Chain A
Amino acid sequence: QKEVEQNSGPLSVPEGAIASLNCTYSDRVSQSFFWYRQYSGKSPELIMSIYSNGDKEDGRFTAQLNKASQYVSLLIRDSQPSDSATYLCAVTEGGNNRLAFGKGNQVVVIP
């Protein structure tokens, strides 16, 4: 079974600091990688997509992909209290666009 691992426990960061989230995946055929943000009691919201090795920046968010290491990460710069949420890593399975998700990492930004 294809797996997406997000092993870090809840992450507490002070306001203005950088939050760093990591994700590993087992399916070498995966082509597309996503980060979703999910506020408590709400549905996931797409915040980043990345398809090739390297970094992709969008505002305060940077996604990093390393296909050789099967590793994708998300950096949140200048963290704000509104960034407090669970962040879900998702990858496409095989040649399909069905998404496999990790369990998520909770981020708490402390004012």
Chain B
Amino acid sequence: DAGVTQSPTHLIKTRGQQVTLRCSPKSGHDTVSWYQQALGQGPQFIFQYYEEEERQRGNFPDRFSGHQFPNYSSELNVNALLLGDSALYLCASSLGGGLQFFGPGTRLTVL
């Protein structure tokens, strides 16, 4: 039974560029939540997708957008990258409002 997968593992971008991160949820899960974890901090909630719609959103600017596909996989897009966007981006999957299990994360570095 595959767990949550994310791609890519690492990514290096320059300021102003755009990035797309991908997540496949755990088998049987239908909800995907995205979190940003800066170094030395706890994860911060970005948004959550269920039934291909953004259901909840944290305190992140519109530069952060996402999508969920019919197979429940999800993408996180960040436009106009800033140095401060450098972080570990975590995807968590759940069945509805149940327990959230994290993927391995994508380490984004913005130069």
Contact = CB atoms under 8 A, between A and B. Distances in A.
Interface residues of B, number: 26
Measured as residues with beta carbon below 8 angstroms from the partner, the interface class of chain A is 20 to 34
Nearest to B58: A98
A98 B45 contact: yes
Given A43-B102, A44-B90, A44-B102, A97 B97 contact: yes
Contacts of B90: 43-44
Contact of A100 (B45, B94, B100, B103): B45
13 contacts: A1-B59, A43-B90, A43-B105, A44-B43, A44-B90, A96-B56, A97-B48, A97-B96, A99-B33, A99-B35, A101-B44, A102-B42, A104-B41
Interface of A: 1, 4, 34, 36, 42-46, 49, 88, 90, 93, 96-104
